[in-house]
Amino acid sequence: MMTEWIQRPFVALALLAVGMAFIPLNDAFIKLMSGHLSLAQISVIRGIMSLAILAFVSTGFRSM
C-alpha cells in the first residue's frame, strides 16, 4: 500500500537521492553521445531508458 511508503522517510530520501543523481548522469550521457548520434536518436534512447526505469519502479513497488 502507498501509506506504508509514506511512513518510511529513509526510503523517500534514498529515492530522492537516486533521482537527483540521474540528472547529472543524463547530462553526461548527452554530452558523450552528441558527437556520435543525432538529437533524435539520443531522445529515443533517453525515452527508452526512462520507460525501462518507470516499468521497473512501478512493478518493483507493487511486489514489495
pLDDT confidence of residue 56: 80
Domain layout of the chain by residue ranges: 2-63
pLDDT in tens, 16-47: 898 899 889 888 988 998 899 999 999 999 89
Chain centre distance of CA 53: 5
Q: How confident is the model at residue 1 (pLDDT cuts 50, 70, 90)?
A: low
Residue with the three cell numbers 502507498: 2
User: What percent of the chain shows pLDDT beyond 70?
Assistant: 81
Q: Could you give the CA distance from residue 63 to residue 33 in angstroms, rounded to a whole number? A: 35
Q: Could you give the CA distance from residue 31 to residue 49 in angstroms, rounded to a whole number? A: 16
Radius of gyration of the chain (CA): 15
Q: How confident is the model at residue 62 (pLDDT cuts 50, 70, 90)?
A: low
